[in-house]
Amino acid sequence: MQIFTVLARGGYVMYPIVACSVIFLAVFLERWYVLRFSKERVKRYLRSVRRATHQGDLEQIFEISQRNPGPASRIILSGIKRYQKGYPREARDAMETVALQELPFFERRLGILVTIASISPLLGLLGTVTGMIRTFNVIAVVGVGQPMEMAGGISEALITTAAGLSVAIPAVIAHYYLSNLSETIINDIERASSEVLESIEEADYIAEAVPERSITGRKQEREDEEDNVPVSANSSQAKA
């Protein structure tokens, strides 16, 4: 009951401040739950991907990514699919394109916290101004000899200022915390994607280099075999 009394003394400016506090709380709880869940899920997925990457097994990475749908797996799958279709040099562009679409998911609605952190102190300042206007209106009517009459305007000014700061300060802290959390997830995905891309480029290099080496090697082996044939064998073949 006392809370509602304080809100009533704050005047009409308290309504948008309370609305900002409700929106802030809803956005923070939703983003905190999503990012904490995503962090653990992405961490498990990337741990499996890194093990397969160290083995150079792109097929295993493909299977792991299909079993773990999400922003990270979609980025990595886009590069592997280009490799499987015979366009390994387009893997980087494909992964970057999908990353531009998927990574903003982790920063979604964080801008609302910035807006609330900026607006709330201004609303508190507005309440301060309206409270002081009310106070001076009382002074103009009854003079300065009635402190009880002026108390309402002063109370309104102080309450709205305190309320605005009470919403803005937690909003700034929440935005900093959630931004660091989302940045950590994005950095992990980017590092893992770079490792997968290196594996794709390495596999492409081997696919291009090995056939050339094998042809040369087979030619050299035939020449060595001809050089190492005994003379008696050559003469017997000639007689035959």
Query: pLDDT tens-digit profile of 43-78?
Result: 999 988 888 888 877 888 888 888 888 889 999 998
Does pLDDT of 222 surpass 70? no
Average pLDDT, the chain: 80
Give the span between the Cα atoms of 145 and 159, in whole angstroms. 23
Give the span between the Cα atoms of 149 and 147, in whole angstroms. 5
Do the Cβ atoms of 198 and 104 come closer than 8 Å?
no
| pLDDT-based confidence at residue 214 (cuts at 50, 70, 90) | very low
| pLDDT-based confidence at residue 86 (cuts at 50, 70, 90) | confident
Averaged pLDDT, 216-231:
46
**Distance separating the N- and C-terminal Cα atoms of the chain:** 117
* 146/37: higher pLDDT: 37
Does pLDDT of 29 surpass 90? yes
Give the span between the Cα atoms of 183 and 150, in whole angstroms. 50
| pLDDT-based confidence at residue 112 (cuts at 50, 70, 90) | very high
Contacts of 161 (CB under 8 A, 6+ apart): 124, 125, 127, 128
Query: Whose CA is closest to 34, among 197, 154, 185, 226?
Result: 185
The confidence score (pLDDT) of residue 218 equals 38
| pLDDT-based confidence at residue 135 (cuts at 50, 70, 90) | confident
Give the span between the Cα atoms of 1 and 54, in whole angstroms. 63
CB atoms within 10 A of CB 225: 9
Averaged pLDDT, 119-141:
83
